Structure 1
Amino acid sequence: MPYGLILLIAALGLLGARLLHLQAVYGLPWLMIAVATVASVWGLWPGVGAAVLALLAFLALYLPEIQGEGWVYHALIPSLILGLSTYIAQDVGASLRRAHRRAKALARALRLQVEVLERLPSAQSRSEVLRFLPEFLAGQGEAHISLWEETESGLRRVAGYPEDLPETIPASGIVGRALREGKPVYVPDVRLEPDYIPPPGVEAQSELALPLFERGEVTLVLNLERLRPLSPEEVEGFVRLARAVSAYLDQLADRKEREVLAALARAMASGRDAAEVAQKALGLLLQALELEAGTFWMAQGARMRALATWGVEDPALLEVAARGLPYGEGLAWRVYLENRPLFTERYAELPNTVPALVGLDWRTFVAHPVPLLGAQRSRLVLVLGQREARRWRRAEKELLAAAARAVGLGMERALESERYLRINRLFQTALLADLEAAYRQVLEEAVELVPGAEAGSLLVLEEGRYAFRAAVGYDLEALARVRFSLEGMLSWYGRGLEEALKNRPRLLSVQEVPLAEVSHRTAPPEVMDTAGRVREIQANLCLPIAHRGQVVAFLNLDNLHDPLAFGEDSLAVAGLLAGPLAVLLHEVQSRRLLEEAALTNPLTGLPNRRAFERFFAEELARAQRYGHPLALLVMDLVGFKGINDRLGHQAGDQALVQVARALERERRNGDRIFRWGGDEFAALLPHTGREGARAAAQRYARAIGGLEVGGFRLGVNIGVAVYPEDGTDLDELLRRADDRMYRAKAEGIPVLADEGHP
């Protein structure tokens, strides 16, 4: 406003009133206007001075007129009026000045906020926002600007101006207080603040620390230091600015989450199998969270298997990924058991860590469960990490939770597809394998496919009884001696024949029933506790396999560590196996009957020469692969020709049948007896060295020597050859056993197991 013009008009008005000889009362208002103008614009004391001058001017102009009328009285009244005018005008003026200053400050803050909001969208990531904010505020005239985040030892500078500000500061100062309290902290005079941490080379009088929020959590503190105090309006403006930046950080977090989920959906749709889905998910999440490396783990029984790795280059870590994690070792197993994510920046301080990671000083990790439908355990665990320590923000945790759900959906589809492919492949390969191999393949595939399984056994119906025909994790040779009735198996199954015929799997846990006691009802404890390890079993899944109204087999899958290893997902996969396995086992057994007819001597019921050649080749290959011994016995009967010649062929046939029965009675489990033809027999003894072969041959010789047909006593000459001492191929072992059999015949001894030693 033209305050000088107002004063001039007031002066001219006063002079005009005097020149027109108007009374004093007409001159006083002009003086009041002048005094009020000065007081309202320049304050109280300038107004008082103006009032004194106005009173003197009034007395100078009007004293002759009021001198005879009690001039002292007439001078007092104008003094009071001018004084009141001064006080009222300065008070009103002060309010107007304050309002004006506040309006200017707020307008400046609003312009600052608007400009920040206009320029923030150009920052497409959180890191760009953190670079932009200090630079922008420095360009607005702020001297010392810095952004701080919390670390395990204090506060770390993320960005700042000037750049020579300290890299770290303790959390005990003003910035740390704003972080802890989650509200702005303003200190007008830092010299009076005991918590103030003076930066080297920086002079400041006031400090304002503003917390920045992401997803409701303080993640950063914006700190301003000035050489003069901030006005309340400036403080309010910066507080509003911090709220605007926090809102934009929330928007960026939401946008990033949507982008990551969309990228995961595209990647998983293009994944051909579970390993490829896991690999693509790892790459995307490591990039989104700016981490170094990761592994996608899958629990299989008592071991975590690495489905995929990314950024794992150290040989020690590659070895860990190759061998997997044994039960209880590493964060993945902890997440498996607790079914909740685990975030840490102090890995070495946790229990049951992976020694290789501790040795390499890796600090920051997240182990996050990937949910699968129906699983009560976290069978899939995503582990991401980096060497340097860092805090985990809530926005990152929420991003990982959403990503894990999305990855779980993709993994479910991939795993289901893999299961169908593997079941089809099993059907094709098992049909072409021999019976024992088919049983073994069925069980091994079931242990790998059914979530939670680490061991198992397959009991097959043979001649009205159920016998162990395959085992993983147990002593099959000892278990094979045990036979079960249907009633005994149903007692173990516990759900009745009707449910068994529907291929309904059932679960048992040691938390519900004592599994060992249930097993002991139908099986000898001395066998099941040792060979069957039944006291170690924590959870069991039993799947009856029925075909055409008959339960042809029972598949047992076990976990030896976790009572809650099996869940609804395990039942679903087991149910998926039941139908194909029923058809497969039926076909395998039908083929077995046909093969047995072709490989069996119809008179004695023993496998024939053709069967011997097949099984000899298989057992020798197995012995060579696993490095265990194999013994071959070649037998030629003594006295058989006399029976045949004098008593006839019918008596000869009877003699051969008796020999076959005697050999079968003496046969150990796992040994195989064959009729070569005529009066020649052979035996294969897996896992048997020379002394064991000699003892078996002598038992066979005694058993045959005790036979008598029509007054003719039988005998036998047996030659023994042992792999690998006597040979490493079929022909060499046969030749050595045959030579020793003829030498035994020539020397008149029943058994020759070594050169020159009966």
Structure 2
Amino acid sequence: MPKIFLIGNIALRDDIDDALSTSGFFVTKIENFDKALSVNYNETDLLIIDKKQSREPSLRKLIKITKNIPKIIISENLSTKGFGFWLKEPFTYPLFSPGIKEIKHFIDRLLREKKTFFDNTKLKNELSLAQREINFYEDVSKTLTSSLDLGNSLKKVMERIKDMTKAEAWSILLIDQETGDLVFEKMESKKAKVIRKFRLKIGEGIAGWVAQEGIPLIVPDVTKDKRFFGEIDKAIHFKTKSLLCVPIKSQNQVIGVLELVNKKTGNPFKKDDLDLVIRIIDQLAIAIERTSLYQRMKELAITDDLTKLFNTRYLNRTIEVEIQRASRYNTSVSLIFMDIDYFKNVNDRHGHLIGSKILVEMAQLLLKSLRTVDIVARYGGDEFVIVLPQTSPDAAAQIAERMRKAIEDYTFLKKEGYLLKLTASFGVASYPESAKTKEDLIRLADEAMYRVKYHTRNAVYAIV
């Protein structure tokens, strides 16, 4: 039932009230503007106002609070005086001593105009939103297909998603293929280093639950959800209120989780936010898979797949570069060859899987014993080679002895319960002191190592 207010003496005519009431309108009478200012105009459809009320000082206030409500201004005579201010307003018609039929005609006309106006406004807003979404999807698609830098691509895409959903923060968690844990790959936070220390088991926290179940989830209030993992909030002094989580899938397998945190409006996330994310999640998954594969291929080209140390291809290239640098700056470059003693016995007794785990631990032990400028490579089997830039023969021998002692004192595979003790043999050669070419340097270091291996083992032999 349309709601109409009659304001002023002429608008209070009984014939107008009776005609509108019998025609299905809900009519309310108000004597003057002062009383009209205290009325709630929510869901009001139309005002019929006596033009004489234009003289009231409260005119501007009333127009302000009734803006966009259709108005009929009734005058007793043909004078246009007093209409000027009203006609600046939308949906306003002046009528001179109108009959009931004329009033009803303009009521119908104004209500149609108002409906048409708001329908058009709604359509324009929907069109604008649709165009914005199209631009968003196009930008996301271009970003995800134009770069193999996963971190940069994720950041650009998530910033757009954040803008579209009015999210306060975001994060991308990916499943670590080795441990199966969810790790924070990319996020928007000044305390990213702290957050990266956290790992979630599958099923742990809301993100872990989404990864386990493979279905999206909106949590309007995390304080009412027992699955919420609050340790991260405590660590970074943050308050998570609402969450939106969507699984990232590749070939029907969950590879990660996209997480949006808190809407800036203070309201929880809605289905529209979820729908927007779901429309781009497959593209995001493809980009993650593509860049991860590219990165893996790139790493395989220069690293050993088991130990993640550099391989012989990278080793040879590095030795060439360091020899050229040593020649140019009149310095030394030293090479250490290392071989694990009796490693075949370990494989024979415990199996190759345990042998492989020992090689991985050995690689980490070597890295911890060296400087950041030193290069460690797996030479094949249980042999390792270390390149020591700008290092004299004596200094290289000391470094080799330090590594030998570290291996001798170390207990391997403690966590697995094997408690294995090992030793290693080391050979050291230097350029230009003992070798004049790359081939000489590799040969002499190798021969020095075998000299130890075939005599005492667990020792260092340096050609100085």
Q: Normalising by structure 2, what TM-score?
A: 0.49
Structure exhibiting the larger radius of gyration computed from Cα positions: 1
Bigger relative CO (Cα 8 Å, ≥ 6 apart): 2
Q: Normalising by structure 1, what TM-score?
A: 0.32
